[in-house]
Amino acid sequence: MRDETLVPLRAASFSPRNRPWAGAATLAVVIIIWQAGSSAGLISELFLPSPVAVGWALWRLALSGDLWANLLASFVRLAVGWTLGTAVGVALGFAVGMFTLVRSPVLALVSALFPIPKIALVPLFIIWFGIGEGSKFATLAIGVLFPTVISTYSGIDNVQRNLIAMGQSFNLSTWSIVRKIVLPGALPSVLAGFRITISVAIILLVAAEMIGADSGIGAFILSAGNLYRTDDLIAGVVILSLMGLSLAAILTRVERAVFSWR
Amino acid sequence: MVAEPARLTDAPALEEETSAPTLRLRVDRVTHQFGPNLVLDDVTLEIAPGEVLALVGPSGCGKSTLLNILGGLLLPTKGGVLIHGEPRPDCLNALTYVFQDFALLPWRTVAGNISLVLEDKLRDEKARRERISEMLRLTGLENFAHAYPKQLSGGMRQRVGIARALAVRPACLFMDEPLSALDAQTRALLLEEFALLIARAAITTVYVTHNLNEAVRLANRVVVLSRRPGRIKAIVDIDRPAELRREDDPELLVAEKTLWSMIRDEASAADRELEDAR
């Protein structure tokens, strides 16, 4: 008499999968519960305005033009500050990755300055660069600079040495090796850094606008809070979230285009 | 994307194969140390133009180190490599490597990887494109010109490695275990192609391998290195012409046995020494 059993699969799990619809459904469920709570009178409109009220606030702001004026002011700060910090950061990170003379000095500075919360420096930047746009640009640029330096030089450090040796063995010029091997090899890490610095920039943008500005989403949220207009306040927060999401989506597109070879 | 091409016996020969190679290399009293470890000890070796030399020896005997020193990828602690004569005028890179791990740029296509090593010196774009398609034809890669390395099998990737190396019309070809990352079947196929390509191109070749069968199939001369520190233990000549060599050639099998008897003691001693060192 045979007594056979099936060998059970033991190598299952530990491999979560992406299900985009489940993500969207989760957001929808949260919003529905929130709306239901408000409609049933369980949540006070002042304490937490309902999704519908936030939607109306957004609509009103869009019609009056307040939304676009503030959004434009914020977007210009974000674009200028982030680009400035990224340009200097990539250049410094490249130098750290390439030159012994630069490496230790710049890394020492980065290690010392990176942990400082940049928000603490905003009052100082206002004294240095004025209460106007200068201090906002500086806050964002400095905040973006350090993570960019780190992601760039670690990208260069992680370029496979055998590829560089290959280039050297074929007598490629230094410039060719940098342009055709080192930079493309470092690009994934640089772009991964962008993902982080865009979020950092949005956080700093709002903080800087709350400390000293009369335009921009941060200033708008602060004044809405001061006036207990919580529907406007949440509307501003929703805009920030959408801003971050769309920038991340753009970056994903760029990555797909650049890394089509993967 | 991963199909292997047909055998390449009727592939076109390299152009200008008539001009005989003239570059002579001389390894002169090369000693090399990695930290406290003596890897190569006073190695002197003459490499004649056009010969195919296999470098064999037990693991860690410094054969790859010697190959890197030969092409100037590593500076020896003592001694040096002397080069004599001029490469052919169309040579773009006299000392050229084929790497064990292929060393292909993953973000460039097959054609792009070959183009990479031509762009600096072969400025004329038309000439460059012609050179690339010549190499693709030679290695049976015509249909893979626009494929990325990731889409290719290991054997196809190493075909790109050899196409890239031959594209610069090298005077010397240094091959560092080019087949050891491949499975046995691909290895056997590619070995035949390599033998043919090397014989046709008449390029001085130094071939590092731990596979004695590869050594006797390809080489005119097999240099046996002792266990670390590597010294030249023996040099075995294999006179059989390349086109007559077959897998089951009795003469080659004898040579392979002879080599193995020389290396076996070294290898097992090296193994025990590594054990002691732990």
Average pLDDT over residues A71-97: 96
Chain B residue closest to A168 (CA)? Answer: B73
B99 touches chain A (CB under 8 A): yes
How far is Cα A44 from Cα A67, in angstroms, rounded to an integer? 25
Residue B4 has pLDDT above 60, yes or no: no
Residue B137 is predicted with a pLDDT of 94
> How does strand B52-56 pair with strand B37-47?
unpaired
Residue A1 has pLDDT above 80, yes or no: no
Residue B5 is predicted with a pLDDT of 47
Closest by Cα among B170, B171, B213, B169 to B195? B213
Q: Which residues of chain A are within 8 Å of residue B103 when distances are taken between CB atoms?
A: 162-163, 165-166
Taking CB atoms and an 8 Å limit, are B107 and A184 in contact across chains? yes
Residue A66 is predicted with a pLDDT of 86
Q: Which residues of chain B are within 8 Å of residue A262 when distances are taken between CB atoms?
A: 106, 150
Q: Which residues of chain B are within 8 Å of residue A181 when distances are taken between CB atoms?
A: 105
pTM score of the predicted model:
0.83
Taking CB atoms and an 8 Å limit, are B120 and A176 in contact across chains? yes
DSSP 8-state secondary structure symbol assigned to residue B99? -
Q: Where are the domains of chain A?
A: 86-212
How far is Cα A114 from Cα A93, in angstroms, rounded to an integer? 14
The more confident residue out of B21 and A88 is A88
How far is Cα B276 from Cα B278, in angstroms, rounded to an integer? 5
Q: Which CATH architecture has domain A86-212?
A: Orthogonal Bundle (1.10)
What is the per-residue pLDDT across B81-119, written as a single tens digit (0 to 9) for each?
Answer: 999 988 888 899 999 999 999 999 999 999 999 999 999
Q: Are B230 and B39 in contact (CB under 8 A)?
A: yes
What is the per-residue pLDDT across A10-19, written as a single tens digit (0 to 9) for each?
Answer: 888 888 888 8
Average pLDDT over residues A4-13: 87
Specify which residues B27 forms β-bridges with. Answer: B45, B81
DSSP string, B2-70: -PPPPP-TTSPPPTTTTSPP--EEEEEEEEEEETTEEEEEEEEEEE-TT-EEEEE-STTSSHHHHHHHH
Residue A62 is predicted with a pLDDT of 92
Sorting pLDDT into bands at 50, 70 and 90, what band is A60?
A: very high
A-B CB pairs within 8 A amount to 46
Q: Which residues of chain A are within 8 Å of residue B96 when distances are taken between CB atoms?
A: 169-170
Average pLDDT over residues A14-34: 91
Q: Which of A165, A170, A259 sits opposite B117 (nearest CB)?
A: A170
Residue B9 has pLDDT above 70, yes or no: no
What is the per-residue pLDDT across B166-178, written as a single tens digit (0 to 9) for each?
Answer: 999 999 999 999 9
B1 touches chain A (CB under 8 A): no
Residue A149 has pLDDT above 70, yes or no: yes
Which one of B105, B148, B169 makes the best mutation probe of the A interface by having the most chain A beta carbons within 10 Å? B105
What is the per-residue pLDDT across A238-254, written as a single tens digit (0 to 9) for each?
Answer: 999 999 999 999 999 99
Q: Are B112 and B105 in contact (CB under 8 A)?
A: yes
Q: Which residues of chain A are within 8 Å of residue B106 when distances are taken between CB atoms?
A: 261-262
Q: Which of B101, B116, B148 sits opposite A261 (nearest CB)?
A: B148
Residue B1 is predicted with a pLDDT of 42
Taking CB atoms and an 8 Å limit, are A261 and B71 in contact across chains? no
What is the per-residue pLDDT across A101-147, written as a single tens digit (0 to 9) for each?
Answer: 999 999 999 999 999 998 888 889 999 998 889 999 999 999 999 99
Sorting pLDDT into bands at 50, 70 and 90, what band is B247?
A: confident
Q: φ, ψ for residue B39 (rounded to 5)? A: -100, -45
